[in-house]
Structure 1
Amino acid sequence: MTAPRAGRSVLAFNVGSASLKAAHYVLPLEAADVPAMPQETGRVSIEAGHDAVPSAAPAQLAALLARLPEARKAPDVVLHRIVHGGEREAPTALTPAELTALESLSVLAPLHQPPALALVRATAERWPRAEQIGVYDTAWHRTMPERHRLLPLPYPLFAQGVQRYGFHGLAFQSAMRQLAGLAPDRCRGRVVLAHLGGGSSLCAVRDGRCVNTTMGMTPLDGIPMATRPGSLDPGVVLYLQRNLGMPADDLDRLLWRESGLSGLSGESGDMHRLLASPSPGAQRAVEVYVTRVAQGIAAMAACIGGIELLAFSGGIGRHAAEIRSRVAAELEWLGVALDPALNREGVAEVSSATATVRTFVLAVDEEREMALAYAARTP
């Protein structure tokens, strides 16, 4: 890859399991020994729903460009958020060989990887002279020590890639960047990040580096999500397959699209709908979610010897004050306490005056993290 040039037009795409975001930046002229800082000129988001499939990529690209005039002129660089990068630690050029390697990881992230790679091909066809660069959610977690990357399986499998990778890395990077400004005295200490949304995961950070996370080899692991179960006794899968005769394709659909909040409630994977619903199923799903999130935060704190900062992000983390309040109530013993008025308002810091743990609510910006990663990379 070539080094960023002055005044480069940079377009960042972020394919989620049910949404597609894009932001346009200009990478300005660099002063000597001063890294260029991307300047945002526009952004847009569209809901993809069940259309977040490879065949929809050209139409989704057209829909984004129709709402983002800054991107209609051919960009110099197109950045793509790739959820599963395996052991990659830095952005890479998305060559044909690299795309083939990333496609082999699609089985580990089927909601995200195929539509993201389809968008790479759609943008490469539209702008054949633009650099296509992958930025990886898994890269943030490469600082995890081996003991946290290991799965309790025969050790030789670790070298074959059967290990904990972690996800939501760009969101966690954004949260840490913001905490550096909001709580500079504590952000280098013991931090737990709670990214709660359609996909949810937690991350333990110490000295500004990831130590552990709740997601594992795939984004199925950890705390429950909108349609994914989170941590699950593997014997359940064997039972469903051997005793109930569930075919592999049905298991795949069950685990990725029919479990979590949706499966528990029997009505929706949308937390805001569940909070508004009086049904026993909705209440059951919310209770399980709150308890699993609280347990997960405590487990992350155990990995780093305690907790000084807690940060909520994601659609649920930012917008569901009731979830934050209920999680905090289960963690009062750990020093987490929220100011009710501040929590309702969802301002940056929502800690009570008596809390020993400072708690924040953050709007993470994954697209900006992608642009910063590109600007900072070496030639």
Structure 2
Amino acid sequence: MSSLSATQGLLALNAGSSSLKFALYDAASLAPLCRGGVTAIKVQDQPARFSAKGETAAALLAGEGPAPDVDHEGAARWLIGAIGERLAALPLAAVGHRVVHGGAEFDRPVLVTPEILQRLAALAPLAPSHQPHNLAPIRSLLESLPELPQIACFDTAFHRTQPRLAQLFPLPRAFAERGVLRYGFHGLSYQFIAEELRRQGVAHAQGRTIVAHLGHGASLCAMRGLESVATTMGFTALDGLMMGTRSGAIDPGLLLHLMMQEGYSPNDVHALLYERSGLLGVSGVSDDLRALEENASTAAEEAMALFAYRAAREIGSLASALNGLDLIVFTAGVGENSPAMRARISSYLGYLGLALDEEANAANAQRISAPSSRIEALMLPTNEEAVIAEAVRALLRNC
């Protein structure tokens, strides 16, 4: 399948816990045609909603949306059906999917077959809040449109360049031998930023770089030569930074205490760490930084301060892994849109030589470090769907 036509489309899907984001591209040129998503999927007391913007958005919006109670599989079927009916002149050549966990086996995009899907489903316990939702649209389309090529692109793949010491846990060797390793996540985002830094010819990009993917889920990646050498997430996407509702790194002895002394079940601990902690848990107000920045409560302020403090501590750890720091890049929802949080985190990093340009930071400029700063600081928007589309096109051309 080496030839792709400008009359075909490539669809990139990014399934979250309660959403299905998409981006539609011209298959030959990868020119973006439309992006949007179905949100509030299976959210209590909220109907699912469809939104879209871009060149072909009007056609997609000209009709009924998905059922209010649609699940992820149903949302994928509805979206593919809407594209087929409302954009009939642009048949899909393939669909690419973000899949959070590829384990040690999948280190590059792969054409999904029923057997591959089964192997990916076996990794669901390692990413229980993500993997099942990522795989639901794939499963649905394999059943309804088995002839449509589907390509899985993995968040873990970017981090397979990490040295062995960065992947190991201090546990008995048998655990590593059966795949209990630090995998890392947000790899599609980090890959986009690495390629963007290369494309722009950023002066320090080939040196010691830390990328801060700060969103509802948050992590950091240390790069040397634009390849991952260390990251804050580990065996699961629960490790590392404080997040919207996830705790990030936490004393394992505390978890033993909760189960052995306070009667928490494993399911109770799961819900606590994944759904009730982070910004939401500390603030008691919201998991959305925008809401906290508008809230005058002491608890909201403490939650934001803790988020920045934990991020700065982890930046220090990764700077040690890099033996210094030349460049820091802020990206994702918080990293791209919150000058206040970027300033909070940067205020801890003066010892590394970072000086922020307050006006540039407030204006969301690309370069936010001051001319006197020894470390360059940038704000770059990420685009995971673009990475997926490029991977799909490359794989199809090589088939």
TM-score, normalized by length of structure 2?
Answer: 0.87
Distance 1:105 1:44 in 2: 28
| Structure 2 match to 1:238 | 256
Letter in 2 for 1:239: H
| Structure 2 match to 1:322 | 340
| Structure 1 match to 2:16 | 16
Deviations 1:334-356 (A, max 9, x none): 11121111111111111111111
- How has the CA–CA distance of structure 1 residues 341 and 165 changed in structure 2, closer, same or farther, with 3 Å as cutoff? same
- How has the CA–CA distance of structure 1 residues 70 and 219 changed in structure 2, closer, same or farther, with 3 Å as cutoff? farther
| Structure 1 match to 2:183 | 165
Aligned to 1:173, the other structure's residue is in SS state helix
Distance 2:342 2:88 in 1: 37
Q: Tell me whether 1:43 sits opposite 2:35 in the alignment.
A: yes
Question: How far did 1:181 drift?
Answer: 3.5
Deviations 1:10-57 (A, max 9, x none): 1110112343211112232xxxxxxxx522222113433654999702
- Structure 1 stretch displaced more, 287-296 or 173-182: 173-182
Q: Tell me whether 1:257 sits opposite 2:272 in the alignment.
A: no
| Runs of 5+ consecutive residues of structure 2 not aligned to the other structure | 49-68
Aligned to 2:369, the other structure's residue is in SS state coil
Deviations 1:169-215 (A, max 9, x none): 00001111222234432111111000001000000000111000000
Aligned length: 370
Aligned to 1:76, the other structure's residue is in SS state strand
| Structure 1 match to 2:59 | none
Question: How far did 1:93 drift?
Answer: 1.6
| Structure 1 match to 2:55 | none
Question: How far did 1:72 drift?
Answer: 8.8
Q: Is the 8 A contact 1:76 1:129 kept in 2?
A: no
Distance 2:184 2:319 in 1: 17
| Structure 2 match to 1:112 | 130
| Structure 2 match to 1:96 | 114
Deviations 1:31-86 (A, max 9, x none): xxxxxx52222211343365499970244236645886548954121111000111
Question: How far did 1:225 drift?
Answer: 0.4
Question: How far did 1:228 drift?
Answer: 0.6
| Structure 2 match to 1:34 | none
Distance 1:150 1:59 in 2: 39
Aligned to 1:231, the other structure's residue is in SS state coil
Q: Is the 8 A contact 2:99 2:134 kept in 1?
A: yes
| Runs of 5+ consecutive residues of structure 1 not aligned to the other structure | 29-36
Q: Is the 8 A contact 2:42 2:70 kept in 1?
A: no
State how 1:204-283 maps to structure 2 within 5 Å.
Answer: 204-283=222-301
- Structure 1 stretch displaced more, 88-97 or 65-74: 65-74
> 2:221 is matched with which residue: 193, 203, 207?
203
Aligned to 2:340, the other structure's residue is in SS state helix
| Structure 1 match to 2:379 | 361
| Structure 2 match to 1:80 | 97
Letter in 2 for 1:124: L
| Structure 2 match to 1:32 | none
Q: Which runs of 4+ in 1 moved over 6 A?
A: 52-55
Aligned to 1:228, the other structure's residue is in SS state coil
Q: Is the 8 A contact 1:204 1:300 kept in 2?
A: yes
Distance 2:88 2:140 in 1: 14
- Structure 1 stretch displaced more, 9-18 or 83-92: 9-18
Letter in 2 for 1:45: G
- How has the CA–CA distance of structure 1 residues 335 and 182 changed in structure 2, closer, same or farther, with 3 Å as cutoff? farther
- How has the CA–CA distance of structure 1 residues 354 and 361 changed in structure 2, closer, same or farther, with 3 Å as cutoff? same
What's the RMSD between the two structures over aligned residues?
2.2
- How has the CA–CA distance of structure 1 residues 334 and 20 changed in structure 2, closer, same or farther, with 3 Å as cutoff? same
